[in-house]
């Protein structure tokens, strides 16, 4: 099916673009000895897991449902993490996971008996971060994400065999990663010698264009050798960056001091992460002289994708494509305004495009009661 024949709006995942990231992940696995788990909180569109699981070692989750999705749809290890497990989730969580990572000593001790036969880890907060956004900073003041006191952690070492440090966020600089890993070693080195595995989390943009992969691999390998641990990485955005687009159609144009174009989608409903962080959606660069503010069709006044240049005036029926629309998009889409939810299409490695999911009124109906 040609992509032009599919009704907009829809997300289009391009496996050839996905493969570029996956091959870099495979390179890192081979040269560093680290294992790579897909972070489902960022991307959970399982129709492309057939390709991804050939280049990765499994999945990591932030809830019971993500955990079960990973176990059912992705070959390999399933790591179970949650900020807090509820009592009625524990049995099902343990039945679906290879490793469980507790966020706090309180949770570890609360479920110590129930999980005594499981491979257990603890999330540690090194209190250093690369984030530009307080909202997303795991090391923010008064953070609930992980334990930070080495003395307290030393008291429960008999209950765990691994640690998870997740303090990187959109970190594209190897030097900063290296610096923060040094800090982790300084503060927790004596404890690292006592565990068998260490996850360094996600947020490390090592599939970016100019990232020094060989330096990264050498650093991971040295870390693993120093402490005698299996290193895990949890790429989310790094696994799927630049691999998908949101395809939309212009429904109306108007002028209110600026040229506006209204499309058959919504930033609040279909690219919510960008609205939360006050970021514009990305479109392939164009320096034409016709500037338009491209707006969504929800009733939210600020439902605006951004302002873009075009080679010619936009007309009703024109197709537009927002790029880099994989991470934190499909996992956050919602039914605000009862807007038609974008379908999901996949461009296969042979170039053919397949519509793998459509959403209808019944899906909207069943999302409420």
The pLDDT confidence band at residue 313, using thresholds 50, 70 and 90, is very high
Is the pLDDT confidence value at 66 over 80?
A: yes
What distance in Å separates the CA atoms of residue 259 and residue 130, rounded to the nearest whole number?
A: 38
Over residues 277-299, the pLDDT tens digits come to 999 999 988 899 999 999 999 99
Q: Is the dihedral of CA 297, 48, 207, 222 positive or negative?
A: positive
Six token digits for residue 258: 């600026």
The Cα 46–Cα 73 span in angstroms is 6
Longest dimension (CA), the chain: 67
Residue 286: how many other CB atoms lie within 10 Å: 10
> Length of the chain in residues, anyone?
369
Q: What is the pLDDT of residues 222-249, one digit of tens each?
A: 999 999 999 999 999 999 999 999 999 9
Beta bridge partners of 164: 123, 199
Q: Which two tokens stand for residue 285?
A: 């660069």
* DSSP state at residue 147: B
User: Collapsing DSSP states into helix, strand and coil, what is residue 58?
Assistant: strand
Arithmetic mean of pLDDT, 264-285: 96
- Which residue is listed with tokens 């680290």? 34
The residues facing 41 across adjacent strands are: none
- With a cut of 90, say whether residue 323 has pLDDT above it: yes
Paired with 243 in beta bridges are none
As a whole number of angstroms, the distance between CA 91 and CA 89 comes to: 6
């Amino acid at each position: 099916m040609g992509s032009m024949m599919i009704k907009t709006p829809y997300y289009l995942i391009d496996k050839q673009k996905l493969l570029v990231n996956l091959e870099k992940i495979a390179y890192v696995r081979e040269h560093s000895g680290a294992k790579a788990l897909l972070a489902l909180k960022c991307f959970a569109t399982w129709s492309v897991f057939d390709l991804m699981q050939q280049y990765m070692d499994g999945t990591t989750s932030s809830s019971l449902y993500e955990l079960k999705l990973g176990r059912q749809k992705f070959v390999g290890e399933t790591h179970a993490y949650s900020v807090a497990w509820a009592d009625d989730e524990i049995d099902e969580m343990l039945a679906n996971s290879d490793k469980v990572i507790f966020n706090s000593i309180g949770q570890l001790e609360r479920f110590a008996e129930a999980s005594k036969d499981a491979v257990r880890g603890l999330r540690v907060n090194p209190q250093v971060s690369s984030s530009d956004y307080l909202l997303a900073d795991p090391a923010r003041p008064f953070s609930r994400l992980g334990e930070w006191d080495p003395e307290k952690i030393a008291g429960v070492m008999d209950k765990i065999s691994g640690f998870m440090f997740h303090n990187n966020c959109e970190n594209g600089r190897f030097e900063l990663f290296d610096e923060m890993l040094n800090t982790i070693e300084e503060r927790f080195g004596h404890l690292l010698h006592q565990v068998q595995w260490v996850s360094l989390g996600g947020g490390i943009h090592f599939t970016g264009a100019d990232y020094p992969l060989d330096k990264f691999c050498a650093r991971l390998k040295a870390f693993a050798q120093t402490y005698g641990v299996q290193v895990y990485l949890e790429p989310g955005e790094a696994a799927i960056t630049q691999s998908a687009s949101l395809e939309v159609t212009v429904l109306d144009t108007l002028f209110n001091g600026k040229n506006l174009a209204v499309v058959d989608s919504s930033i609040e409903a279909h690219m919510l992460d960008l609205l939360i962080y006050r970021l514009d959606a990305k479109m392939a660069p164009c320096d034409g002289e016709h500037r338009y503010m491209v707006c969504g069709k929800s009733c939210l006044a600020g439902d605006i994708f951004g302002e873009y240049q075009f080679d010619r005036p936009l007309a009703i029926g024109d197709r537009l494509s927002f790029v880099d629309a994989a991470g934190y998009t499909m996992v956050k889409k919602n039914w605000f305004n009862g807007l038609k939810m974008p379908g999901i299409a996949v461009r296969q490695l042979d170039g053919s495009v397949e519509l793998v999911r459509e959403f209808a009124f019944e899906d909207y109906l069943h999302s409420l009661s």
